[in-house]
Amino acid sequence: MPGFSPVPLRETAETAAVAGAGGLPEWDLSDLYPAPDSPQLAADFQRAAEEAEAFAEAYQGRIAALSGVAFGQALVAYETLSERLQRIMSYAQLVHAASVSDPAVGRFYQDAQERATDISSRILFFTLEINRLEDVDLAAKLVDSVAARYRPWLEDLRLFKEHQLSDDQERLLHEKAVSGRNAWIRLFDETMADLRIPLDGGEPATLTEALDRLSDPEPAQRRAAGKAIGETLAERGRLFALVTNTLAKDKEIEDRWRNYAHPMASRNLSNLVEDEVVDALLSAVQDSYGRLSHRYYAIKAGWMGQGGRLDWWDRNAPLPDDDDRRFSWDEARDTVLSAYHAFSPDLAAIGRRFFDNAWIDAPARAGKAGGAFAHPTVPGAHPYLLLNYMGRTRDVMTLAHELGHGVHQVLAAGQGALMADTPLTLAETASVFGEMMTFRAMLDQATDPRQRRTMLAGKVEDMLNTVVRQVAFCQFEKRVHEARRGGEVEVGRLCDIWMQVQEESLGPALRFDNDYRFFWAYIPHFIHSPFYVYAYAFGDCLVNSLYDVYQRGEVSGFQDKYMDMLRAGGTLRHGALLAPFGLDAADPDFWKRGLTVLEGFIDELEEVA
């Protein structure tokens, strides 16, 4: 049964910005439900409860004895009920994301989680009983054509067979999530939404607004913002450390009971990617730190006139000759859709639907979730995008990224509620590809050498944030989870681990001080989805290789093959998806090819320097 954890946010705060909320679109969630207190939502809750009870009465304890036809019917009924519950929780999550600080919304979200968990716990037996089937018995049931349609979902489900607990233990963990892990996540989200950063002696800023100052053209503004953010996070350091320690311990306990070999094992399994493939990615990126981030930030320090060292608050600063161009919403929309259209008119047509309908919430508002995400909701509806748009070039890239997710989700919806979701490692493919298409289109239109340098530098920084930074985040998580197995990790130790990975990954050109020690605290992925972060690096390197194949014309009918890859949703794994393009993620050269694209951009910038 799909979980009801919050949607992971894209960590854009240090690389995103807002140009005023005027004229920016806001989403209309009535395609899901008219309102939190609507009769339609109440009726769906009631119907879901009745369907869950009927499903349990019909099938609990009987899965092994079902014929193939009856098993197919059970799968269809389970998918229908799953989609109904997903629709309810998608709505609750989106309402909450738009108004995280509203106590009434918080109560609605919590109540929805509790009711949905109660209902879903009634049918938890279904997947547990499927995993107790012998392979030969399951194969006999899949002779039925209806049941056979669900083969990819069943194969993925059975990967977790050896980690499955008893029915009572599974139900206990499932029901306690709302008062355990999910409650800590809610505490984190509401704390972050309520943070106010004192800037310039004026009205305190939200964290999103304060982080935007790290891209301000004025050095004094960047410095003041960075220090104010660090001080504000430090004031709540004990709370953030408690949340981090509690969730890490919670994960350790469950991992131990489920016999996972290491803290990343469950994430790798859910991502349908082998440990050795992830290890190859992480090793390739770490081995490239010197050629990528260390080299680039040394170049940038020279551009910024800081004598070979770059203050940490200037890491994402605009270059001195950056014109700090701002894009209106219409300009951003047209830029992204034009780039999509140049690649595939069909892809652009799907993307336009997000703008023609109220499927995007773009303004940065107090109390709104920070960062950005695309929520797939359910196949019977459509995705929604959340942004905090501030008009910079990087915000255009974020729009291109999230629209890629949205288009991917639309195309995969045909696989149904159980098989539309793509593993996180592949879920970033369309988003990063959308970014690359948009960047290439914008770069091709730039004729002024200074503008091209600025754009290349911006792209390099985005790629470093996506590849190097996310791998460093993964290393931080690994060290924290390992340390937690020896007891609670004191807040100062968390800060020490953070600084170690930052210094290793960003290099000697970066100059840090104590105000940066608490920046680990605001990263939502550590809380929402442990070890999610390497999926960004996986996706970026994968897309670099994929885009390189496209640019070189190595594969005929590339666009059609690409669209088919997106339509596959969660029915195929990375090996089968990449095979039509002649790529293999298990080959160490695959990751080197992806990193070479980034290195090439830095080479070009070094020549300019």
Q: Is the pLDDT of residue 87 over 80?
A: yes
Identify the burial level of 488 via C-beta atoms within 10 angstroms of its C-beta, where 0-12 means exposed, 13-18 middle and 19 or more buried: middle
Torsion, Cα of 206, 207, 211, 212 (10° steps): -30
What is the DSSP secondary structure assignment for residue 586, as one 8-state letter? T
Residue 431: per-residue pLDDT: 92
Q: Indicate the pTM of the whole model.
A: 0.84
Yes or no: say if 159 and 153 are a contact pair by the CB < 8 Å rule: no
Residue 17: per-residue pLDDT: 33
Q: What is the arithmetic mean of pLDDT over 16-36?
A: 77
Yes or no: say if 456 and 296 are a contact pair by the CB < 8 Å rule: no
Residue 428: per-residue pLDDT: 85
Yes or no: say if 267 and 531 are a contact pair by the CB < 8 Å rule: yes
Q: What is the arithmetic mean of pLDDT over 310-326?
A: 88
Residues 51 and 474: their CA atoms lie apart, in Å, by 41
Residues 230 and 351: their CA atoms lie apart, in Å, by 38
Torsion, Cα of 315, 318, 319, 321 (10° steps): -170
Lowest pLDDT segment from 29-43, 65-79, 274-288, 445-459: 445-459
The number of beta carbons lying within 10 Å of the beta carbon of residue 358 is 15
**pLDDT-based confidence at residue 354 (cuts at 50, 70, 90):** very high
Yes or no: say if 64 and 129 are a contact pair by the CB < 8 Å rule: yes
Residues 58 and 321: their CA atoms lie apart, in Å, by 69
Closest CA to 214 of 606, 522, 600, 607: 522
Q: pLDDT by residue (tens digit) across 431-462?
A: 999 999 999 999 888 888 888 888 899 899 99
Q: pLDDT by residue (tens digit) across 161-195?
A: 999 999 999 999 999 998 999 999 999 999 998 99
pLDDT-above-70 percentage for the chain = 96
Residues 91 and 42: their CA atoms lie apart, in Å, by 13
Q: Is the pLDDT of residue 606 over 90?
A: no
Yes or no: say if 218 and 244 are a contact pair by the CB < 8 Å rule: no
Mode of pairing for the β-strands spanning 373-375 and 384-386: antiparallel
Domain residue ranges of the chain, discontinuous segments joined by +? 32-178
**pLDDT-based confidence at residue 22 (cuts at 50, 70, 90):** low
Q: Is the pLDDT of residue 13 over 80?
A: no
- Give CATH for domain 32-178: 1.20.140.70
Closest CA to 474 of 432, 518, 532: 532
Yes or no: say if 577 and 428 are a contact pair by the CB < 8 Å rule: no
What average pLDDT is seen over the chain? Answer: 92
Residue labelled with tokens 């949703």 = 569
- 589 compared with 153, residue with greater pLDDT: 153
First-to-final CA distance of the chain: 54
Residue 20: per-residue pLDDT: 37
Q: What is the arithmetic mean of pLDDT over 371-382?
A: 95
DSSP-derived secondary structure for 444-458: HH--SHHHHHHHHHH
**pLDDT-based confidence at residue 35 (cuts at 50, 70, 90):** very high
Residue 144: per-residue pLDDT: 97
Backbone angles phi, psi at 558, to 5 degrees: -55, -45
DSSP-derived secondary structure for 248-293: HHHHHHHHHHHT-SSTTHHHHHHTT--HHHHHHHHHHHHHTTIIII
Residues 242 and 221: their CA atoms lie apart, in Å, by 31
Q: What is the arithmetic mean of pLDDT over 262-271?
A: 94
Q: Is the pLDDT of residue 11 over 50?
A: no
Q: pLDDT by residue (tens digit) across 134-163?
A: 999 999 999 999 999 999 999 999 999 999
DSSP-derived secondary structure for 290-345: IIIIIHHHHHHHHHTTSTT-EEGGGTTPPPTT-------HHHHHHHHHHHHHHH-H
Residue 12: per-residue pLDDT: 41
- Find all residues with CB under 8 Å of 567, minimum gap 6, and list them: 411, 412, 414, 415
Q: Is the pLDDT of residue 6 over 90?
A: no
**Region label for 336, one of left (φ > 0), alpha (ψ between -120 and 50) or beta (otherwise):** alpha
What is the DSSP secondary structure assignment for residue 360, as one 8-state letter? E
Lowest pLDDT segment from 514-518, 525-529, 587-591: 587-591
Closest CA to 455 of 467, 468, 440, 466: 440
Strand partners, 386: 361, 373
- Give the helix ranges, DSSP H, for 143-205: 145-148, 151-157, 167-176, 181-194
Residues 4 and 121: their CA atoms lie apart, in Å, by 12
Stated as kind and residue range, the H or E segment containing 82 is: helix 68-98
